[in-house]
Chains A and B, each alone.
Chain A
Amino acid sequence: MALTGVLRPGHVQVRVLDLEESVRFYRDVLGLVETGRDAQGRVYFKCWDERDHNSYVIREADRAGLDFFGFRVLDKATLDKFDADLRAYGIATERIPAGEMLETGERVRFTLPSGHVMELFADKTKVGNGIPLVNPAPWCKARDHGIAPIRFDHALLYGPNVAEVQKIFTEVLGFYLVERVLTPDGNANAAIWLSCGQKVHDIAFAEYPEPGKLHHCSFLMESWDQVLRAGDIMSMNAVPVDIGPTRHGVTRGCTIYAWDPSGNRFETFMGGHLPYPDYETMTWTFDNFGQGLDYPQRKLHETFLTVVS
């Protein structure tokens, strides 16, 4: 098997200001599938085509933003090895017992120098995507409810010490650097896009003075047509849209950025090129960041740089 180690983004927990308003948004407008609620009051969702019990969890709090981001790793031995490797590298880790999140096994938790809480886990109950594993249909009716992305794809996080974060992902966790934007002086990276497989990115970071900030969580759509349909549904529901529909130069992904009812930005996204780990990193100079963000409009939107939760 070629894909080992970290397999994919597995879950994210996001804070919302009003739980029921947010449930209505994520379930009926974004079209995620609600899969459970726990004793802490958290609400669990998955995208219709995902097989694991949950990928997107919301918690009511007095501030918006990200609680943690978790990657699924291959198996328990891999989890233990990453835990040991992280500690050998000098990063403190903590074990969260199985069952603390619904239908989820033991998690290894650590904090990045950017202030973001990361997790690794090897087990989450497979509940399926509503399509049988024998003679499967290509889709089921959940595909037509709301925007209905097919999976939670990646996140862009803002915080300090991006160079150190890059080292942890590439030297300990087995990621590789797909694309980057240089700082204005060209001596460092202002933003980095990292992959653990053949997706154009699984997580991205941008240098920012405040730690632990969420720029966006991204949901994968099947086609450009589905991205445009997502834009229609956003407008029908008066969802505040930030940028798009347009295409990023960085990643080549086609996108809309918009905000949830608590000011957490999300993305409906499709496409992107398919990198391999042996490919050279692609570099954008800072004066081309506008094309990197919005290729047709060549515009470095002010909100992209300044609005986070």
Chain B
Amino acid sequence: MTHTVSIEDADVRYACAPQESLLSGLHRLGLRGIPVGCRGGGCGVCKVEITGGEFSTRVMSRDHVSDDDLAHRRLLACRVYPSSDLSLKVIGKLQKKVCTPAADRPLP
């Protein structure tokens, strides 16, 4: 039994099984929409806000998920597993970059 995941603003809908993370379901279909990094809950690039639906999670790095994030369902897509149809917004940003000294970059 798979669930349908909708990425708001990106007009992407895909099928995701309950034992498959939101990120790997998207990735498996060769679709884009959520940035893909470590796929282990450690790097934070796949951050999304779940705007509707039920899900379960696995442990994810608190460097990227604060208590406030948890309360507002702002989570790492590689560690979220759908248990109903679900909708989300992508909020992770790939803006921090090697090579540019901190002083020259806008604050994250």
- Which residues in A have some Cβ–Cβ distance to B below 8 Å? 17-18, 62-65, 158, 160, 181, 183-184, 188, 190-191, 206-210, 240, 259-265, 286, 302-309
Which residues on A sit within 8 Å (CB–CB) of B59?
17-18, 62
A63 touches B98 (CB 8 A): no
List the B side residues contacting A304 at CB < 8 Å. 98
Can you add 4 more A-B contacts, CB < 8 Å, to A17-B59, A18-B59? A184-B99, A263-B42, A306-B37, A307-B43
Let me know if B94 and A183 touch, CB within 8 A: no
The SS class assigned to the A binding surface is loop
Q: Which of B1-9, B60-68, B83-91 contacts A (4 or more CB under 8 A)?
A: B60-68
Report the bound CA distance from A40 to B52 in whole Å: 40
Instruction: Select B45's contact among A188, A209, A306, beta carbons within 8 Å.
Output: A306
B97 touches A64 (CB 8 A): no
Contact of A240 among B39, B63, B94, B108 (CB under 8 A): B39
If over half of B's interface residues share one DSSP class (helix, strand or loop), that class is named, otherwise mixed; here it is: loop
Q: List 24 A-B contacts (CB under 8 A).
A: A17-B40, A17-B41, A62-B59, A63-B62, A64-B41, A64-B63, A160-B101, A190-B99, A191-B99, A207-B98, A208-B98, A209-B102, A259-B42, A262-B61, A263-B41, A263-B61, A303-B36, A303-B37, A305-B97, A306-B37, A306-B45, A307-B37, A307-B43, A309-B43
Partner of B61, one of A17, A158, A188, A305: A17
Are B98 and A158 in touch, CB under 8 angstroms? yes
- B96 — which chain A residues lie within 8 A by C-beta? 208-210, 306
Q: In the complex, what distance in Å separates the CA atom of A303 from the CA atom of B105? A: 18
* Nearest-Cβ distance from residue A57 to partner chain B, whole angstroms: 17
Q: Cα distance A264–B37 when bound, in Å? A: 11
Q: Are A309 and B61 in contact (CB under 8 A)?
A: yes
Number of interface residues of B (CB under 8 A): 25
Q: Which residues of the other chain, A, contact B58 by a CB distance below 8 angstroms?
A: 18
Q: How far is the CA of A160 from the CA of B43 in the complex (A)?
A: 18
Rounded to whole Å, the gap between the CB of A21 and the closest CB of chain B is 9
Q: Which residue of A lies closest to B107 (CB)?
A: A209
Q: How far is the CA of A306 from the CA of B98 in the complex (A)?
A: 7
Are B105 and A262 touching (Cβ within 8 A)? no
- Residues from chain A with a CB closer than 8 A to the CB of B60 are 17
Q: Does A260 lie within 8 Å of B40, measured CB to CB?
A: yes
Task: List A contacts of B29 (CB < 8 A).
Answer: none
Given contact pairs A17-B61, A64-B61, A64-B63, A286 touches B99 in the complex (Cβ within 8 A): yes
Complex partner residue of B100 from A209, A260, A263, A302, CB under 8 angstroms: A209
Q: Is the CB of A240 within 8 A of B38?
A: yes
In the complex, A33→B36 CA distance in Å? Answer: 31
**Cβ contact within 8 Å between A240 and B40:** yes
Q: Looking at the complex, which one of A64, A206, A209, A303 makes contact with B42 (CB distance below 8 Å)?
A: A64
Among B36, B61, B62, B105, the one with the most A-chain Cβ atoms within 10 Å of its Cβ is B61
B37 CB, min distance to chain A CBs, angstroms: 4
CB distance from A248 to the nearest CB of B (A): 15
Q: Pick from B41, B42, B105 the residue with the most CB of A within 10 Å.
A: B42
A309–B99 CB distance below 8 A: no
Contact between chains at B101 and A262 (CB < 8 Å)? no
**Chain A's nearest CB lies how many Å from the CB of B101?**
6
A294 vs B62: C-alpha distance when bound (angstroms)? 32
**Which residues does chain B contribute within 8 Å of A65, judged by CB atoms?**
42, 61, 63
Shortest C-beta distance, B69 to chain A (Å), equals: 13
Q: How far is the CB of B59 from chain A (nearest CB, A)?
A: 4
Chain B's nearest CB lies how many Å from the CB of A240? 4
Taking CB as reference atom, which chain B residue is nearest A258? B38
Closest Cβ of chain B to A284, distance in Å, is 12
